[in-house]
Amino acid sequence: MKVVDILKSHNHTSVSFEFFPPKTEKGFANLFHTMGELNSLKPSYVSVTYGAGGSTRENTHRLVTRIKRESAMEVVAHLTCVGSTRDEVARILDEYDEAGVSNILALRGDLPQGMTEWNPSGKGFEHAADLVGFIKERKPHFGIGAAGFPEGHPEAPNRLREVDFLKEKIDRGADYIVTQLFFDNRDYYDFVDRCSVVGIKVPVVAGIMAISSRKSMKRMAELSANARFPAPLIRLIERADDDDLVARAGIHWATEQVRDLVDKGVPGIHIYTLNNSHVSTEICQTLGLRDFSSIRNY
């Protein structure tokens, strides 16, 4: 089932989880244990990331096809421009199609360490919109997602052109948007409004990640120059006396974000799990739910 159909068919906010492919057999075993725990929360679908420059390509494919084969969860495979030629992407799409995987999140992708710009040299895709168009042409029955940046894309020349680039992805075949993480819901609501202004009418899923430590917070700031940490969140983290309390404060903030987003009737919440079930379970329990499928919009 296409993700866009899941988003439109529910009479409540959908909730999905994102995982990254482990590097070892032990990591795979641990992840499937985590997924078993999260499956009880009845997610609408799950997604699997693609490492910088396609560095996790084989493990991503392995994990995606295994989830499809061994579970009832709908799965979305990330696919990037960076690190792939057109022929390689065509082969990957054929393999996913054969395995029954029909949802792709089409991304430009992060550059590998040491690379400062992406030059496909005619054999690949320069922009995510090009990849979206290629997928739509070759696999018109696939569902295609695109990434959105409520706090601004770090490489966008300006915020006006940024939304134009996003609309190009939609015009070429993307049928829903999932945002990068944000910590102030006002950024999400403004982003959705700006999408509406330029005629983007597809569902916009809100990406949520809980801060787990001061170190992780600093890492987020280093990875994205646009990352915005509201003053109340900084105060909340600074009041915490140790890492356990920082993690609890981070979960509390993320839970309040989810509560507000659900109350406002957003089509979907996408939780970046970091391959851990604890945060998602805590959010569910704090909201008074046995599982996320119990969420209702009012």
**Which residue of the set 18, 74, 151, 162 is catalytic?**
18
**Residue pointed to by tokens 């910088």:** 52
DSSP 183: S
d(CA 221, CA 227): 6
Residues linked to residue 176 through DSSP beta bridges, in sequence order: 145
From 195, 206, 209, select the one nearest 162 (Cα to Cα).
Answer: 195
Strands 268-272 and 103-107: unpaired
From 171, 174, 103, select the one nearest 132 (Cα to Cα).
Answer: 174
H or E element, residue 18? strand 14-19
Task: Please report, for residues 97, 108, 109, 119, 121, the alpha-carbon distance to residue 124 in angstroms, rounded to integers and kept in the order given.
Answer: 20, 11, 13, 8, 7
Within the chain, where are the H helices? 3-9, 25-39, 57-70, 86-99, 128-138, 159-171, 185-197, 214-223, 231-239, 243-263, 278-286
18 as an active site residue: the answer is yes
**C-alpha 268 chain-centroid distance:** 11
Tokens standing for residue 1: 């089932």
Q: Are 54 and 83 in contact (CB under 8 A)?
A: yes
d(CA 126, CA 136): 16
d(CA 285, CA 263): 17
Residues annotated as catalytic are 18
